[in-house]
Structure 1
Amino acid sequence: MPEPTDTRLDARTVRAWLRRNGVEISDRGRIPSDLIARYERAHGLDRIPDDQGRALPLLPHFLHGALLIRTDFSDDDAWLAVIAAVRAPTVEGFTAHIDICEDRAFADLPPDRLTAHLPNRHRHSVLFVVDAVTIRNPEHPLVAIGLDVTQPPVATLRIIPSAVQMIENNLTSTKMWFQDFVVQADPDGVLRLY
């Protein structure tokens, strides 16, 4: 797959463009992610070529939680079952803070290729992927991709939907590392936390 283009942006350039396009923005501080996404879309920076020559979008600039990406669109009922299980609170009352991406542009894209489509300024510590295995397997094991830049390489793990809350909550609060979950997987490579 071609390497993604370096899309780091100069804040002054972005601010100047936003002002020219009628957006009031201060000279200092962080530029809101929705405005950065707007600039990137306008300048074609929100697309990265894949190994088949398709220009795929960057994953969304979500700020509220982990990103759950749908790459298999073959069974809407299975998809809805996965989402319901992911959103269900734990017995302790914890819920996962998940932002969902259902962009068909990512259909059938292997999980290991998704990280190339993250925006440079993403803050995700983990991506969750609903792929063909997730949809077809009765346990619906999602792919979890650890994005901890201090512990490369990127690690992956299959997890049942009810484990999403524990992983997302602990990684977001930095109480645990992704590798702490990898070592707890069952012999078949799936993490089941009951």
Structure 2
Amino acid sequence: MTSYPTLPATAHDEVVLVCVCYEDHAPKWGGVLERLGAGPEDATIPLDGGVTLRVAHDVAWDQVPGGALPALLPVGTTAAPVVAVADISAVYGDSGLLLVDARDMPGRGVRVADGRLASVLRQLVEGKLEFADLVRGMDRWGTYEGDGGDQATPTPTDVVRTGFPPLPAAEDLTLLVRTDFHDEEGWRAVLDSVAAYDDEGIDDEGDEEEDVIALRAVVVDDRAYEGLMPGQVPALVPAGPSTVMVALADAVTMSEPDRPLYAVDLHDTPGQAARVALDEAGSMAANLEIANMDFADFA
């Protein structure tokens, strides 16, 4: 697994703002700092309400996924409940900063519009707002109380259990992770469907299936991941290799005819979930891999 530098320690009422976009080894902030009323030389950015952003940049953090950031916080310090992230969407797309949960379910993320940032951070620091409230209140683009419409599948905020081991590497592939172990017949049907198509969209009997793209997946069938929820996934994915997508096969997957998987966003809004029928999962992964579509297009 790739090793990254530790994020700076924060004082009371401080939240780290880390840049994960770089060009020629220099941090690429786009309009982020300007929107926050700061300049490139500022080490801290005071916000209304008393919360301060501590600016952090190191080219070693270039493209580090948001889900990996909580693990980079200093051990033994009283860290803020979130990490603020200037990622490619915030830098190039004028999206709100990505806030990554560092306390309740580390690694999951929600975007917050610039105008709401100070208030939301203050409420999080004071404990008047839980990260789960942000998740429940985000639109399909992953923005808290955004105007992009409701998610087709609300992202769950519950925690069934904790203590999951890291997921295996799956460079340029999808991880298909079994999380329910009560229906062997249903799981076998999932595996048979995944194996039924080759990379050309041709089934195992040699017939072409229109609009079917094979799901290229590393299958994880291990009871260690029983009960794994979408929001817990980003922190478990190795930060180095580029895993395209993680898809969970849960009780719903096993029981419904179209075998809907729980697809999990790893990049735009880590931990956001979307249901996708098994025979459509390959197309989803392929479009995400080439950035032809965003996760929100499926959410």
The answer on 1:141 being equivalent to 2:249 is no
Letter in 2 for 1:109: L
Letter in 1 for 2:171: L
Counterpart CA distance in 2 for 1:94 and 1:54 is 34
Report sequence identity in percent.
30
| 3-state secondary structure, aligned to 2:186 | helix
Q: CA deviation at 1:106?
A: 0.6
Distance 1:136 1:119, change over 3 A: same
Whose helix fraction is larger, Structure 1's or Structure 2's?
Answer: 1
Output the TM-score relative to the length of structure 2: 0.41
User: Mind listing any 5+ residue stretches in structure 2 that lack a counterpart?
Assistant: 5-104, 106-158, 202-208
User: Mind listing any 5+ residue stretches in structure 1 that lack a counterpart?
Assistant: 1-6, 11-49, 183-194
| 3-state secondary structure, aligned to 1:129 | strand
Counterpart CA distance in 2 for 1:167 and 1:69 is 16
Q: CA deviation at 1:97?
A: 1.1
Output the TM-score relative to the length of structure 1: 0.60
Q: CA deviation at 1:129?
A: 0.4
Counterpart CA distance in 1 for 2:264 and 2:294 is 12
Post-superposition Cα deviations, 1:7-41, rounded to whole Å, max 9, x if no partner, equal: 8527xxxxxxxxxxxxxxxxxxxxxxxxxxxxxxx
Post-superposition Cα deviations, 1:65-86, rounded to whole Å, max 9, x if no partner, equal: 1111001111111111112223
| 3-state secondary structure, aligned to 2:185 | helix
Distance 1:86 1:53, change over 3 A: closer
Q: CA deviation at 1:153?
A: 5.1
The answer on 1:61 being equivalent to 2:158 is no
What is the aligned partner in structure 2 of residue 179 from structure 1?
A: 296
Q: CA RMSD in A?
A: 2.7
What is the aligned partner in structure 2 of residue 38 from structure 1?
A: none
| 3-state secondary structure, aligned to 1:140 | coil
The answer on 1:166 being equivalent to 2:283 is yes
Instruction: Show the 5 A alignment for 1:1-194.
Output: 9=3, 55-89=163-197, 90=201, 91-92=209-210, 94-148=213-267, 151-152=268-269, 154-182=271-299
The answer to whether the 8 Å contact 2:174/2:247 transfers is: yes
